[in-house]
Amino acid sequence: MEGEKKDDGKSPKKPEGKEEGAQGTQAGGAIDALAAGLSKYFTSAVKLDDVEKVLSEVTFEGVAKYLKSDKCTNVITMAGAGISTSAGIPDFRSPGSGLYDNLQKYNLPDPMAIFSIQYFIEHPEPFCHLAKELWPGHFKPTPCHYFVKQLHEKGKLLRHYTQNIDTLEHYTGLPADKIVEAHGTFRTSHCLTCQKEFSQDWIKEKIFAEETPTCDAEDCVGLVKPDIVFFGEKLPDRYFKCVEEDLKKCDLLIILGTSLSVQPFASLTGRVPTKTPRLYINLDKGNTNVDPFMMLFMGGGATLNFDDENNYRDVFKQATCDEGCYSLSDLVGWGKELRQTVEKEHKRLDAEIAEDKQKPKTAKGASK
């Protein structure tokens, strides 16, 4: 699932066991002190006079004003599970989503094994059962997804990076070349032996029929796996290629509904130019506390500095992704249009879903 076991050779790796829980301990105290020292060092190292201040004011309104201007044409959005929660998509990762609590019946050596490639090759059944259980009954993008599509329609979107595997972006009509699915996708599957590609409908049919997905190519009996990134697999090549080309061009980074705790994805915040404003829309400030390990490897650039007195570019908007995107769209003057799109598209998708429910229940059409 999460690709944090792998990196692109440039991203930092946190030492094992360096989790938030360790912060209260003695070691945690030392780490905090180190963090504070490094923060001071890096803040003073960035000579503010040398940095072009892009935002007229470092506020949500300031970001909106900038987004509206002709100077802002290469927006990158980076999204996590938070953008899909209002669509009823369960968050595969967060403890408390019930997912890991439900795994006992599979007798796994450890809960993470269900997303381990080695384990899947030997025992594909638990993953397939889980995929069936979690398969969304319908695919209805959220207002936040439609806001990303709106950025594209207004000629502002350079690329949308997502950690999500729920494919909701595609249902807004956002072109596939605008989307980078960092942790892969359920849209396609591949045979692990001969690499033959299979469609989302094909894998769904196998999963719902509780059959082990096996390749149908001649002389091949390989196991077929959805193209989501398992532990022990590298992130898609397209991710690294796009990161290399896009991030340096980014003139506004909008971070949506991710806790910024999964690497290498989270470190994208540090790969935009130093002048590029960064807007973070989330329910809380996530993992944006000063992280000394990130700082040592990234030179401090990855850390968002909302509360620093010298902050010239980082803005935090405490809101759900839908609320935050509506507010931003309103300020730019696109809000009415966005609401109309959401209403129209949801109506259309509801009709499709209702029609789908009328169909006789086959494995293919089965909805949960």
Show the binding pattern over residues 221-260: x = contacts Zn ion (CB under 5 A), - = does not. -x--------------------------------------
Residue 166: exposure state from Cβ atoms within 10 A (0-12, 13-18, ≥19): buried
Pick 25 or 199: Cβ nearer Zn ion: 199
**Of 123, 152, 160, 183, catalytic:** 183
Shortest distance, position 118 Cβ to Zn ion, whole Å: 19
- The pairing of beta strand 157-162 with beta strand 75-79: parallel
Contact segment (CB under 5 A) with Zn ion among 105-113, 119-127, 181-189, 211-219 equals: 211-219
Are the C-beta atoms of residues 162 and 179 closer than 8 Å to each other? yes
Q: How far apart are CA 289 and CA 287, in angstroms?
A: 6
Pick 108 or 194: Cβ nearer Zn ion: 194
Choosing from 191, 252, 254, 294, the residue that interacts with Zn ion (CB under 5 A) is 191
Please indicate whether residue 138 is annotated as part of the active site. no
Torsion, CA 97, CA 269, CA 295, CA 52, rounded to 10:
-150
3 state DSSP class of 352: helix
Q: How far apart are CA 309 and CA 303, in angstroms?
A: 14
Pick 202 or 293: Cβ nearer Zn ion: 202
Q: How far apart are CA 359 and CA 355, in angstroms?
A: 7
Shortest distance, position 196 Cβ to Zn ion, whole Å: 5
Shortest distance, position 219 Cβ to Zn ion, whole Å: 9
> Which of 284, 279, 281 shows the shortest CA–CA distance to 324?
281
Specify which residues 223 forms β-bridges with: 214
Site for Zn ion contains 203 (CB under 5 A):
no
CA angle 178-241-267, nearest 5°?
90
Q: Please, what is the end-to-end C-alpha distance for the chain in angstroms?
A: 23
Choosing from 78, 83, 113, 215, the residue that interacts with Zn ion (CB under 5 A) is 215
Pick 134 or 223: Cβ nearer Zn ion: 223
Pick 43 or 214: Cβ nearer Zn ion: 214
Shortest distance, position 214 Cβ to Zn ion, whole Å: 8
Is the link from the previous residue into 236 a cis peptide, with omega within 30 of 0?
no
Shortest distance, position 225 Cβ to Zn ion, whole Å: 11
Q: How many residues bind Zn ion (CB under 5 A)?
A: 8
3 state DSSP class of 223: strand
Beginning with the edge strand found earlier in the chain, give each strand of the sheet holding 224-228 in spatial order. 197-199, 184-191, 224-228
Pick 90 or 222: Cβ nearer Zn ion: 222
Site for Zn ion contains 214 (CB under 5 A):
no
Show the binding pattern over residues 139-178: x = contacts Zn ion (CB under 5 A), - = does not. ----------------------------------------
Choosing from 51, 134, 194, 331, the residue that interacts with Zn ion (CB under 5 A) is 194
Pick 156 or 225: Cβ nearer Zn ion: 225
Q: Note the helical H segments in the chain.
A: 26-45, 60-68, 117-122, 125-134, 143-153, 168-171, 200-208, 237-246, 292-298, 321-332, 335-358
Choosing from 22, 48, 176, 217, the residue that interacts with Zn ion (CB under 5 A) is 217
> Which of 260, 266, 325, 307 shows the shortest CA–CA distance to 286?
260
Choosing from 51, 220, 283, 349, the residue that interacts with Zn ion (CB under 5 A) is 220
Shortest distance, position 213 Cβ to Zn ion, whole Å: 11
Choosing from 23, 193, 214, 327, the residue that interacts with Zn ion (CB under 5 A) is 193
Specify which residues 318 forms β-bridges with: 282
Shortest distance, position 183 Cβ to Zn ion, whole Å: 23
Pick 205 or 345: Cβ nearer Zn ion: 205
3 state DSSP class of 198: strand
Contact segment (CB under 5 A) with Zn ion among 14-22, 38-46, 209-217, 274-282 equals: 209-217
Query: Which residues belong to the active site?
Result: 183
User: Binding residues for Zn ion, per CB under 5 A?
Assistant: 191, 193-194, 196, 215, 217, 220, 222
